[in-house]
Structure 1
Amino acid sequence: MADPNDRYRAPALDKGLDILELLAGQPHGLTRAEIVKAMGRSPGEIYRMLERLVARHYVMRSPQGDRYALSLKLFELGHRHPPVERLVAQALPAMEAFAQAAEQSCHLGIYHGGNLTVVAQANGPGNWGLAIRLGVRVSLLGTGSGHVVLAFQPEQRRAEMLAEHEALEGEVPVAEPELQAIVERIRTLGYWQGESQQAFGVIDISMPIRGLQGNALAVLTCPFIRRIDRHVGPSLDAARQLLAGTAGGISID
């Protein structure tokens, strides 16, 4: 807790930080009464501060409304632009090597504000291919990329993402049972592979880029297009294996 000998005091800030530090050691959260008891403060003080922390998304209230737990907002703040720049710098050479070997394009997405944002793109060596523009938003619910990010999250974090999600243009709604089945399948396989929900004739392959705790911190996707002329390129299975190796070699920890 705050040191009474500190020269400069900010009681309200100290109170909020005390709550965050307390909840950081409680993976299952605490009730308001438990927080009041642990901090030795009045219920009114704790109530007001908790409400502000919930409103700013640093703390999550349980669906029943009786428990409070730390969200992953602090984690997200720690993975803002400088780490993203490092991620792109590390990922691009590997992505370009994949594009050359698989003769397919690929793009890298990270979660931001309820959907995904494309932060890197590598084109295949041929004269044509499917490319995603940098900076575009990709649906969390309507793409394999989004499903992969959701699949490799703790339940609480997945609920936060779904709560923040805003449907993008053309997005097809996904019912809760269907989404749960998709998530479980991805967790079992370790990746997503299936027909694109935006373009006919494209098979999307999406691989998670995982942190030390196993969470998907980014996703690498190849929109696979099969050639039908006389050129024989790498197969879908070969491209998937190459993409898995590429994703496994990228780290953002």
Structure 2
Amino acid sequence: MAEKRVTNPKSKAKPVRRKHYSAPALEKGLDILELLAKEPEPINLKEIASRLNRSVGEIFRMLAVLEQRSYVRTGDGDERYQLSMRLFQLSHWHLPINRLTSAAVGPMRRLALQTGQSCHLTILSGSRVVVIARQETYKDRSFAMRVGAESPVLSSCSGRIFFALADNFTRQALLEKIRDDDGSAIKSEKIVELEDTLQEKSYLEIPSEQVDGILDIGTPVYDHEGSVAAALVIPFLHRIDKDNESELGMVRECLLQAAKEISEKLGFISSI
């Protein structure tokens, strides 16, 4: 049975535009971390400085501090830099994410076993959604999102869930952020209309906008206050050797049950 969410009063207040501040040293350090996060292989000091349009001297000092704090590392006898696991550890020390992933481990594992499909859990971060946990299936063929993968709010199943169920203040803040990031907000009005669908069915299905043959099926996960804490999504992989329509019914039911279990672990109490 579809569970009803607890709604909070919708605020009419407008988001406040924050003043832009500059902290050059911090910005340089963050630029280095973001660059190394995107590099598949370690790179040396000159390459880092060149890509960031900085002098070798200023980058060297920043790298020295980052290495002392264990955010970057080099191989034995090597002068090429790469990220350590420090940021990964920090993300899991963060209490809300830790609580979410801990609550989701069991239900997500059962969901993958029951459906033969992979699943992932996302949270809202700025104008994007980020995968914080995933569970792959035992099947030989599957499609899975990696932990840390990001997607635009208005172009992903989980992002549309967050946007459609947001209160007015959060929704306007998201639109401001999307515009600041040079994104398109044209889809926003249609996405707001999805709230009725989510209230009625408790899940959302949309074809993937990135991968052919994938149907994203998502449902919200609620916290103890009745707010959307995360979205649980199955990237349903269509098989030409199976009756996908009959399988979809089972997948939807298992997905809703898994989300209900996670929500209850977070303290959510259904009104029915």
Distance of aligned partners of 1:182 and 1:231 in 2 relative to their CA distance in 1, 3 Å threshold: closer
Q: Distance in 2 between matches of 1:108 and 1:161?
A: 20
Which residue among 175, 184, 196 is the counterpart of 1:162?
Answer: 175
Q: Is the 8 A contact 1:195 1:203 kept in 2?
A: yes
Q: Distance in 2 between matches of 1:180 and 1:232?
A: 29
The Cα of 1:103 is off from its aligned counterpart by: 0.3
Distance of aligned partners of 1:245 and 1:190 in 2 relative to their CA distance in 1, 3 Å threshold: same
SS of residue paired to 2:193: helix
The Cα of 1:180 is off from its aligned counterpart by: 2.6
- List, as ranges, runs of 4+ consecutive aligned residues in structure 1 with deviation greater than 6 Å: 166-169, 230-234
Residue 106 of structure 1 is matched in structure 2 by 119
Which residue among 175, 182, 199 is the counterpart of 2:194?
Answer: 182
Residue 235 of structure 1 is matched in structure 2 by 247
Which residue among 98, 108, 111 is the counterpart of 1:95?
Answer: 108
Q: Superposed, which structure 2 residues align to 1:113-192 within 5 Å? A: 113-165=126-178, 174-192=186-204
Q: Distance in 2 between matches of 1:135 and 1:205?
A: 19
The Cα of 1:192 is off from its aligned counterpart by: 0.5
Which residue among 207, 223, 240 is the counterpart of 1:195?
Answer: 207
One-letter amino acid of the counterpart of residue 239, structure 2: R
Q: Is the 8 A contact 2:154 2:187 kept in 1?
A: no
Give the structure-2-normalised TM-score. 0.59
Higher relative contact order by CA 8 Å / sep ≥ 6: 1 or 2? 2
Q: Over aligned residue pairs, what C-alpha RMSD do you find?
A: 3.3
The Cα of 1:118 is off from its aligned counterpart by: 0.3
Note the residue ranges of structure 1 that are not aligned, 5 or more in a row: 1-25, 31-52, 58-79
Question: After superposition, what is the alpha-carbon deviation per residue over 1:87-145, rounded to whole angstroms, capped at 9, x for unaligned?
Answer: 10120121011000000000000011211110000011111211101111122000111
Q: Distance in 2 between matches of 1:152 and 1:210?
A: 11
Q: Is the 8 A contact 1:105 1:123 kept in 2?
A: yes
SS of residue paired to 1:235: helix
Q: Distance in 1 between matches of 2:120 and 2:163?
A: 18
Count of residues paired in the alignment: 183
Give the structure-1-normalised TM-score. 0.63
